[in-house]
A and B are shown apart, each in its own frame.
Chain A
Amino acid sequence: MNWQFDGGAPIYSQLVGQIKQGIVSGAFPPGERLPSVRDLATEAGVNPNTMQRALTELERDGLVYSQRTAGRFVTEDRNMIEEAKRGLAAAQIRNFLEAMTRLGYEKEEIVTLVRQETTEEGLQCQF
Chain B
Amino acid sequence: MSILECKGLSKNYGSVTALDHVDLTIEPGRIVGLLGPNGSGKTTLLKLANGLLTPTAGELRIDGLLPGKETHGMVSYLPERTCISTWMTVSQLLDFYGDFYPDFRRDVAVEMLKRLNISDSQRIRQMSKGTREKVQLIMVMSRAAKLYLLDEPIGGVDPATRDYILSTIIGNYNPDAAVVISTHLIADVEKVLDDVIFINQGRVVLQSSVDAIREEKGMSVDALFREVFRC
Q: How far is the CB of A46 from chain B (nearest CB, A)?
A: 5
Q: How far is the CB of A5 from chain B (nearest CB, A)?
A: 6
A11, B211: Cβ atoms closer than 8 Å: yes
Q: How far is the CB of A6 from chain B (nearest CB, A)?
A: 8
Within the assembled complex, what's the spacing in Å between the Cα atoms of A9 and B221? 11
Q: Within residues 13 to 54 of chain A, which ones have a CB less than 8 A from any CB in chain B?
A: 38, 41-42, 44-50, 53
B167 nearest in chain A by CB position: A42
A8, B163: Cβ atoms closer than 8 Å: no
With A41-B170, A42-B171: A47-B163 Cβ-Cβ less than 8 Å: no
Within the assembled complex, what's the spacing in Å between the Cα atoms of A8 and B192? 15
Which B residues are CB-close (under 8 A) to A53?
A: 211
- The number of A-B residue pairs with CB atoms under 8 Å apart is 56
B170, A42: Cβ atoms closer than 8 Å: yes
A47, B215: Cβ atoms closer than 8 Å: no
Within the assembled complex, what's the spacing in Å between the Cα atoms of A46 and B194? 10
Which A residues are CB-close (under 8 A) to B193?
A: 47
The reply to whether the CB of B79 lies closer than 8 angstroms to some CB of chain A is no
With A7-B220, A8-B218, A8-B223: A46-B191 Cβ-Cβ less than 8 Å: yes
For chain B, give the interface size range: 20 to 34
A38, B211: Cβ atoms closer than 8 Å: no
Q: Within residues 203 to 223 of chain B, which ones have a CB less than 8 A from any CB in chain A?
A: 210-211, 214-215, 217-220, 223
B contacts, CB < 8 Å to A: 29-31, 163, 166-167, 170-171, 173, 190-194, 210-211, 214-215, 217-220, 223
Q: 30 A–B contact pairs at CB < 8 A? A: A7-B220, A8-B217, A8-B218, A8-B220, A9-B214, A10-B211, A10-B215, A11-B190, A11-B210, A11-B211, A38-B173, A41-B170, A41-B173, A42-B171, A44-B191, A45-B163, A45-B167, A45-B170, A45-B192, A46-B191, A46-B192, A47-B191, A47-B193, A47-B194, A48-B173, A49-B29, A49-B30, A50-B191, A50-B210, A50-B211
